Amino acid sequence: MKITVLTLFPDMFGAVLADSILGRARSEGILDVELRNIRDYTLDKHGRTDDSPFGGGAGMVFTPEPCFRALRAVGTGSRILYPSPRGKLLDRALIEDLAKEENLVILCGHYEGIDERILDAFDIEEVSTGDYILTGGEIPAMTIIDAVARFLPGVLGNETSNDEESVYSGLLEYPQYTKPRTFEGMDVPDVLLSGDHERIRLWRFEQSLRLTKERRPDLFAAFTASHEQALRAKKPPLKDGDLTRKELALLKEIAQEDDR
């Protein structure tokens, strides 16, 4: 996959793209990220890319000219994204969809926003990484790149890794522990030292359920609803991918705890 980023601050991406999973994906030729400076496409003798908004208001707005020229230079056959709080939320479905593309272009805004004609002329998709405001689109662009790269074949090594990750599984991740067994009076839960893999698996599942219910009740409700039919059945038929009967019993118990 090739991702072209149009930005005023290409240097912001250096360390993020050079290290860890993204750096390895690039070195192995799985991911190609090209950074282009929007300022290189302005005809303004002072290199300006913004101006005051018509109708008044605070802040400055990206002018059409440099963005039009930059996007045309990249080529209009690619899927183009614009990080924006008013866009579609970046979730697993969207990330997997983006990962199927051969080419992506991410236009990073700055200042107060960009001229709406840029979005209209190039059929740009607005994508939101959350309900908050950042100084520019560079950090959301990094988030998009990292999230999408994890779904490219060969990037994670284990192709099932994403399914086991927090949120993607439908639940928050269970607590993790490592050596030493005791640290400053705090012990690792005994079950993790038992060697009983089934007990450990069920303990982790229970912890994920409790954490999700406490911290992300929206996710817990969605997870419970997705298993509603099995929860109602006296002896639910099980097939590959379903929760086991013990897992269903834990889910039912935790879901009903507030009702007692």
Secondary structure class of 227 (helix, strand, coil): coil
Q: Provide the residue type at 114 as one letter.
A: I
Query: Please, which pLDDT band fits residue 95 given cuts at 50, 70 and 90?
Result: very high
Please state whether 138 falls in left (phi above 0), alpha (psi between -120 and 50) or beta.
alpha
Q: Are 207 and 177 in contact (CB under 8 A)?
A: no
* Positive or negative: CA dihedral 168, 171, 175, 177: negative
Instruction: Enumerate domains of the chain plus CATH numbers.
Output: 2-161 (3.40.1280.10), 182-259 (1.10.1270)
Residue percentage of the chain with pLDDT more than 90: 82
Query: Please, which pLDDT band fits residue 223 given cuts at 50, 70 and 90?
Result: very high
Secondary structure class of 90 (helix, strand, coil): coil
Name which of 75, 29, 31, 69 is nearest 49 in CA terms: 69
Sheet holding 103-107, edge to edge: 32-37, 2-7, 103-107, 79-89, 125-128
pLDDT digits (tens, 9 = 90+) for 100-130: 999 999 999 987 889 999 999 999 999 999 9
Per the structure block, which two tokens stand in for 238?
A: 């099980």
Spatial distance between the Cα atoms of 206 and 203, rounded to a whole number of angstroms = 5
